[in-house]
Chains A and B, each alone.
Chain A
């Protein structure tokens, strides 16, 4: 199979995963030539930069990506210095993913709901780029402030990706980000990619310079019953999507609203009961190896460069990581 027709495959774990499990998966991925270990921040779970550093210290020859880190959760000085530390640790093999984070989780941790997300992310990415360029910066946002801040030790021009969904944030990614992490309904993926591309062109950038990554639910299985493994992952995605975005899906809107309503009330299991097979398929890559390969090629054709093999994987995540090794699945 020609390299330009197949996407890179990466591993995805979240900070809610017990660390020893994540280490086993990450080490296996690094031995099986996965492109990146992506670490997703479950805001209310383990601290993300510590978690990422532990993984980075135990793997070899694999890139480390952390996504997404929310400026509503971490002050910019923490994001900057922790990112620069991880870049130094990995010898410039680190990517920072920024995003708003789940609105509910952010509010639960900080007591404040994220507002004005487009300017906030725009400011954050702009300031971070300056800091990584060793410039002295000043920044003020609400209670947060940095004065004449400079990271003298930073050595690298660290790539900053955005993990975003709505059109305005996708445009922002096209204008400023080095990459985009989509965690999107598959039926809207093509449109999302077009928005990024258009924004890039308008900003006089080459859209191909922006790396496009897809991180949806992933299940290696021929058994439709196993799709249910992804209910928790899909629930998280649905709840972080705006109502207007959900309304664009060819799914039962009343059902989606019901899911959100139950989740907001704290009834997670009831919310999951409403998730149907159609909904799961909209947010998940699912199937046996051959089916998945076909899906990978279709997604690559849309313009995605890298696909994340992430939770729930299957009933045997470690076996899935070994099976989905690029070398093995594309060998034929």
Chain B
């Protein structure tokens, strides 16, 4: 089982450099970078992380097809490949609803755009792996097998299994990404729950229904929009079971094992993980050891 860590442009660029170097040094499989219109921009972030690391794989999880132009995006990766070699994975998807609203996109037709990107990518002959980031059944049914890998926005074995079963996904390169908190204190737990609630509240209702979580999701959405952390705490069990993971290294070990059992090839732990520098180092070191099978 491969393990990667997701970091994004919410961090100061110099903190991103430090974290990237720690991740590489510890021997994890990949650094995954995310984006948002109000974060540090992915282009200079990619150029920086690649410049300041030596050989670790750098992927994007994910870049929104609504926030880029295909030619420009692939020109960026062509440059990165020319400068640093075959170290990159292009992860594409819809992007968060909240983020898209900021750039004025209220109606998203993502599938045709993803097809346009795939078309340009084929013409471009870039020869870097391209992954689809999605959880929507329609997208996965239509495009899941056309990409080199699929990144599913959950680290819940139950959700991932349901998604695979219901979409008939044949793509065997499945990656799972979700928010994580290592030995969380009260503050970190709140951040973790808010992140889970954010992801949960973005899940289309149709999918929620298919996954059998529609009733709880309505509550999560309500609490998330009202910043009701007390009620979100009451839903910790639900949020953890379906979206993220907070706990000890043993909990992480069990989760990695469960995901491996259902065929996930790589698990990507994402923010908040921990706010503490020393604890981050400890987490990365210990999580890297889980790469070896039991």
Q: Indicate whether B87 reaches chain A with its CB closer than 8 angstroms.
A: no
Q: Which residues of B contact A88 (CB under 8 A)?
A: 12-14, 40
> Which A93-146 residues have C-beta < 8 A from chain B?
109-110, 140, 144-146
Contact across chains for A146 and B104 when beta carbons are under 8 A apart: yes
> Which A308-322 residues have C-beta < 8 A from chain B?
none
> Can you list 17 A-B contacts with CB-CB less than 8 angstroms, sorted by A residue number?
A19-B79, A20-B82, A46-B79, A49-B41, A50-B46, A53-B44, A53-B45, A57-B47, A58-B51, A81-B38, A85-B41, A140-B104, A145-B104, A146-B102, A148-B102, A151-B38, A152-B38
User: Could you list which residues of chain A lie within 8 angstroms of chain B, going by C-beta atoms?
Assistant: 18-20, 45-47, 49-54, 56-58, 73, 75, 77-78, 81-82, 84-86, 88-89, 109-110, 140, 144-153
Shortest Cβ distance from A49 into B: residue: B43
> Nearest-CB distance from B121 to chain A (Å)?
15
- Of the listed stretches B69-77, B131-139, B205-213, B256-264, chain A binds B69-77
> Nearest-CB distance from B88 to chain A (Å)?
11
Q: Indicate whether B235 reaches chain A with its CB closer than 8 angstroms.
A: no
> Nearest-CB distance from B113 to chain A (Å)?
13
Q: Which residues of B contact A47 (CB under 8 A)?
A: 43, 72-73, 75-76, 79
Q: Which residues of A contact B102 (CB under 8 A)?
A: 77, 146-149
B interface SS class: helix
Q: Indicate whether B9 reaches chain A with its CB closer than 8 angstroms.
A: yes
Q: Which residues of B contact A148 (CB under 8 A)?
A: 102
Most-contacted residue by chain B among A47, A54, A153 (CB, 10 A): A47
Given contacts A18-B82, A153-B12, contact A89 B38 (CB under 8 A): no
Shortest Cβ distance from A148 into B: residue: B102
> Which B1-43 residues have C-beta < 8 A from chain A?
9-10, 12-14, 37-41, 43
Q: Indicate whether B52 reaches chain A with its CB closer than 8 angstroms.
A: yes
Q: Which residues of B contact A84 (CB under 8 A)?
A: 40-41
Most-contacted residue by chain A among B39, B46, B47, B73 (CB, 10 A): B47
Contact across chains for A81 and B41 when beta carbons are under 8 A apart: yes
How many chain B residues touch A (CB < 8 A): the figure is 35
Q: Which residues of A contact B13 (CB under 8 A)?
A: 85, 88-89
> Nearest-CB distance from A81 to chain B (Å)?
4
Shortest Cβ distance from B37 into A: residue: A77
> Which B39-96 residues have C-beta < 8 A from chain A?
39-41, 43-48, 50-52, 67, 69, 71-73, 75-76, 78-80, 82-83
Query: 11 other contacts beyond A47-B75, A81-B41, with CB at 8 A cut-off?
Result: A47-B73, A50-B43, A51-B79, A52-B47, A57-B51, A75-B67, A77-B37, A81-B39, A89-B14, A110-B69, A149-B102
Q: How far is the CA of A85 from the CA of B101 in the complex (A)?
A: 22
Contact across chains for B47 and A54 when beta carbons are under 8 A apart: yes
Q: Indicate whether B103 reaches chain A with its CB closer than 8 angstroms.
A: yes
Shortest Cβ distance from A152 into B: residue: B38
Q: Which 7 A-B pairs give the minimum distances between C-beta atoms?
A: A145-B104, A53-B47, A57-B51, A47-B76, A53-B44, A82-B41, A49-B43
Shortest Cβ distance from B104 into A: residue: A145
Shortest Cβ distance from B50 into A: residue: A54
Shortest Cβ distance from A91 into B: residue: B14
Contact across chains for B52 and A57 when beta carbons are under 8 A apart: yes
Q: Which residues of B contact A89 (CB under 8 A)?
A: 13-14, 44, 48
Q: Which residues of A contact B39 (CB under 8 A)?
A: 81, 153
Q: Which residues of A contact B50 (CB under 8 A)?
A: 54
Contact across chains for B103 and A77 when beta carbons are under 8 A apart: yes
Shortest Cβ distance from A51 into B: residue: B79
Q: Which residues of B contact A149 (CB under 8 A)?
A: 37-38, 102-103
Q: Which residues of B contact A110 (CB under 8 A)?
A: 69
Q: How far is the CA of A50 from the CA of B79 in the complex (A)?
A: 8
